Amino acid sequence: MERTRNFCIIAHIDHGKSTLADRLLERTGTITQRDLVQNQVLDDMALEQERGITIKLHAIQMKYQHTDKNEYTLNLIDTPGHVDFSYEVSRSLNACEGAILVVDATQGIEAQTISNLYLAIEAGLEIIPVINKVDLPSAEVEKVSQGIVELLGCKPEEIIPASAKSGVGIDEVLAAVIERVPPPVGDAEAPLQALMFDSVFDPYRGAVVYMRVVQGTVREGETIRFFSNGKEFEVEELGILKLRKQRTGSLSAGDVGYMIAGVKTVADTNVGDTVTHAKKPADAPLPGYKEVKPMVFSGLYPTVSEEFEELRDALSKLRLNDSSLVYVPESSIALGFGFRAGFLGLLHMEIVQERLEREFGMSIINTVPNVEYIVEIASTGERVVVDNPSDLPDPGKIDHVEEPYIVAQIITPAEYMGNIMKLCMERRGVYLNTTYIDPTRADVQFELPLSEIIFDFYDKLKSVSRGYASFDYEFKEYRQSDLVKLDILLNGEPVDALSSIVHRSKAYDWGRRLCRKLRELIPRQMFEVVIQAAIGTKVISRDVVKALRKNVTAKCYGGDISRKRKLLEKQKEGKKRMKQVGAVEVPQEAFLAVLSMDE
């Protein structure tokens, strides 16, 4: 245990976390150049590679001979890098004793880095600051180090200048991990306490649990228990994680490794849970476990109604390795049978939608995402949770509606402060305070309704700050708001799947923009389509998609028939991708029109 170091890397997207990880693996001989063909080794889901985000965390063990001639075992635990996954980040941080803080020399510290850094400091981790990309012409090493010094209260010489791309500073980083990060403490003879920081699904073996043993020892053949749900399983295989799994038969205090225990679904394996022995359990779980709560809800419907069962099947398979996805069946008058799904955030929602389409070949309609509201019923004082706008009770029955608020932390160059203030005010934000990280960079805090940031807040923030501002948030509380249900009617029929809950002050503008966007998205068809936005029975906006005037092939002779038939088949295929709502054909993207509304 004296020669084991457990650490992670904290960095903003694109600041070079994956590249640095690759260099460490290379330098310690854990992988070869050839293994790197897929560029960054730790992100192995195709989607992750495309989006450049580590969605699921993993761990890998390295061996490194230090200048003291001793060989050290270094466990690198990877962390996801997006606001949607901050709880997962906190769990993987808790599996470590140290963290490398990577800051891009050309960008400086970003909001997300700071919030993750705070989590790391809270978890008592030793922080090793690294300035990456120091060899770039636009690098501002001096300024960035000053920011780090102010943030960490460290000495400037403790900051390691590096370039993961060209390999500069890698040995120094490894040396610092060994010298500065304390070895794990724990008693191999104590009752078992292992922190589960991730699990992935293997179609042949079931859930593969990634864990850090904090106390005690676990061996194959023993029966273990999960603290959160009390479920017990017999351990089939234990081992450590190299590039591939390496079976060791047991794991002891301080070790990071994997466990296979015949767990059929990852839904049983909750990130942050504590694994203990069934026979001689620990008295208490490790602190910090929370049930992950979805923040954003949306309807998921098959474009073709008959594919409901296929969608159910696909979702249950997705859930096998994404336990943060929750869903229950629901039905919509417009869309038929589908599911209401809860997601950690908008990114998570997009990932689920993409995986359903790519991995399961499903054609999906995703309805407008919304947050979860609490509605207090006037007559009874009963508090009802509403996660689907069409479930909002009749306004006459409502005493009041509450919506979730978050605290947003925005790090921005001072010159964009004005723009950001304006943006947050438009989003019903309440200003809290500003602190300066360095003379040119501010850390601004706002309270905002969650519903105001789930759509396009992040994009807007980037555009008003020329891409420089960064953002993180955490849930604060539920607050009473003046909210109304805005309905959309097509040819006079309300389309429940297009309803949304909006603040009364914004309802008119919202309705007008939504109608206009729908007019663009709904193609002209044989019959005129009237689009209306209404609050209750009051129509507040109206737009019309005019009927198609002429569509007929002029010439159709012997040589045209096959071609004409194929064109018609193509046209029919296109129609299949649209949803028939009453007599109106509505394209999939119209259900997410809100996400692409213009100002």
Partner 1 sequence: MAGLYVHIPFCEKKCIYCDFYSIESVHDYDAFLASLTTEIEMRARLLPVGRSFHSIFFGGGTPSLLSPAQLGGILETLHARFRFDPLVEITVECNPGTIDVDKLRGYRAAGVNRLSFGVQSFHADDLEFLSRIHTAEEAETAIRTAHGAGIKNVNLDLMFSLPGQTPERWMANLERARALGTTHLSCYSLTIEQGTPLARMVARGMVGIPPEESDAALFELTMQTLSDWGFRQYEVSNYALPGFESRHNLTYWRHEDYLGFGPSAHSTIHGRRWWNVSSLQTYLERIRGGQLPESGGEFLSADTLRSEHIFLRLRSEGISLPDFTRLYGSDLHADNRDFIDRCIADGMLVIDSERLKLTRKGLLVCDEICAELK
In the set 378, 432, 539, 583, which binds partner 1 (CB under 8 A)? 583
Alpha-carbon distances of 147 from 9, 143, 151, 154, 409, rounded to whole Å: 18, 6, 6, 10, 17
Residue whose token pair is 């207090």:
376
The smaller minimum CB distance to partner 1, of residues 378 and 561, is found at: 561
From the list 133, 117, 128, the residue with the least C-alpha distance to 159 is 128
Sole window of 350-358, 401-409, 432-440, 567-575 interacting with partner 1 (rule: CB under 8 A)? 567-575
Q: How far is the CB of 561 from partner 1 (least distance, A)?
A: 6
The smaller minimum CB distance to partner 1, of residues 203 and 559, is found at: 559
**385 binds partner 1 per the rule CB under 8 A:** no
**244 binds partner 1 per the rule CB under 8 A:** no
Residues 325-364 that bind partner 1 (CB under 8 A): none
Q: How far is the CB of 331 from partner 1 (least distance, A)?
A: 21
From the list 528, 496, 500, 495, the residue with the least C-alpha distance to 513 is 500
Query: What is the size of the binding site for partner 1 (CB under 8 A)?
Result: 25
Q: Please count the helices (runs of H) and the strands (runs of E) in the chain.
A: 13, 33
Alpha-carbon span 127 to 104, nearest angstrom: 16
Angle at Cα 54 formed by Cα 299 and Cα 413, nearest 5°?
A: 95
3-class state of residue 428 by DSSP: coil
The smaller minimum CB distance to partner 1, of residues 385 and 554, is found at: 554
Sole window of 94-102, 193-201, 487-495, 570-578 interacting with partner 1 (rule: CB under 8 A)? 570-578
Half-sphere exposure of 164 (CA within 13 A, CB side): 26
3-class state of residue 336 by DSSP: strand
* Residue 462 buriedness (CB in 10 A; 0-12 / 13-18 / 19+): middle
Start-to-end Cα distance in the chain = 58
Sole window of 324-332, 337-345, 536-544, 549-557 interacting with partner 1 (rule: CB under 8 A)? 549-557
Sole window of 314-322, 404-412, 484-492, 522-530 interacting with partner 1 (rule: CB under 8 A)? 522-530
Alpha-carbon span 380 to 317, nearest angstrom: 41
**504 binds partner 1 per the rule CB under 8 A:** no
Per-residue burial over 88-97, b if 16 or more Cβ lie within 10 Å, else e, is bbbbbbbbbb
Sole window of 10-18, 170-178, 211-219, 519-527 interacting with partner 1 (rule: CB under 8 A)? 519-527
In the set 243, 284, 425, 556, which binds partner 1 (CB under 8 A)? 556
Q: How far is the CB of 490 from partner 1 (least distance, A)?
A: 15
Alpha-carbon span 418 to 237, nearest angstrom: 57
The smaller minimum CB distance to partner 1, of residues 328 and 526, is found at: 526
The smaller minimum CB distance to partner 1, of residues 397 and 546, is found at: 546
**558 binds partner 1 per the rule CB under 8 A:** yes
* Residue 537 one-letter amino acid: T
Alpha-carbon span 226 to 186, nearest angstrom: 20
Q: How far is the CB of 550 from partner 1 (least distance, A)?
A: 4
Residue numbers at the binding site for partner 1 (CB under 8 A) = 525-527, 548-559, 561-562, 564-565, 568-569, 571-572, 575, 583
